[in-house]
Amino acid sequence: MSGKRSGLVAVTALLVLLPAVGLPPYYLHLLATAFVLATLASAWSVLAWGGQISFGQATFFGVGAYAAALAAIHGVASWAALALGAAAGAAAGALVSVAALRLHGAPLALATLACAEIGRGIALNWEWLTGGGAGIVGIPALPGPASSPRAAAYYVALLLLIITLSVFSWMTGSRLGLALAAVREDSERASLLGVNPSTWKLAAFTLSGGLTGAAGGLYAHMVRVVEPDLVFSSWYSLAPLIMATLGGPRTVLGPAAAAIGLYLANELVLQPVVPALHQVGYALALIAAVLFLPGGLGGLVVRRRRAAP
């Protein structure tokens, strides 16, 4: 365990030092985006830990992005705007949970997908607040050194990922994690043992929504524009699912590692070589995970460690 912790500390230290060694802004932006996607994958895994499969994470991402953007353009400081994005995402998670308390499996997944479409429709039609199809532009960038304008977003994205991983790690051994695991295995038996599935599902959706909303708020400051078709895109619902499934949704580091690896491989390898087919890599990753890695790469590592003498 000490060796694993030492490795994590070394990797974190390396990531912290990258902007200082003069990494070009383009690569800083790529890494920051990869960290955002890793946060989304880990936040999605909070729900998967309790057996809740969401196809609608774009709901929380889009709500968080719009909340932070609206706050920022009205003069709210960046950190407070990000906090508002997280709060808005958490509120959206709670609302979705209440609307889908009696659902599970495929009906729950479809209900969350519908919520994302509802969110996109509201953003399109509530023009006086959201700007409609034109969206919101001129969102201020995160304050940072003039010599490296991408560095601030990079560091905040890295910090958000570390916080998300810490929260996920804490959850797995907490009362929340134990209750969600019981609900995942058999909700009726969990009820007989005194575990109220509705309460813990509400907590999981709120936590997942808050983390996803924070990522949406950060993304709004990174790209400095939000539009309904951008932040409520199905990409922000499907990408976390694919990445977490490949990495292993019941492992702490698996979803984040898979998200970073898949995104960077797509942008640095597939996009330059076969731009017309660069999205195929995500589909192949999902197929491989479903057919050959039911527990994901993280689950495979855990099984091998347990089998080792």
What digits encode the pLDDT tens for the residues 55-112?
A: 999 999 999 999 999 999 999 999 999 999 999 999 999 999 987 777 777 888 888 9
From residue 46, give the alpha-carbon distance in Å to each of 29, 138, 147.
26, 33, 37
Lowest-pLDDT range, 99-113, 206-220, 253-267, 268-282? Answer: 268-282
Q: Where are the domains of the chain?
A: 24-232
Q: DSSP letters along 40-104, please?
A: HHHHHHHHHHTT---S-HHHHHHHHHHHHHHHHHTT--HHHHHHHHHHHHHHHHHHHHHHTTT--
Determine contact, residues 296/245, Cβ cutoff 8 Å: yes
Beta bridge partners of 226: 136
Lowest-pLDDT range, 63-72, 115-124, 221-230, 247-256? Answer: 247-256
In angstroms, rounded to a whole number, what is the distance separating the alpha carbons of residues 284 and 178?
A: 33
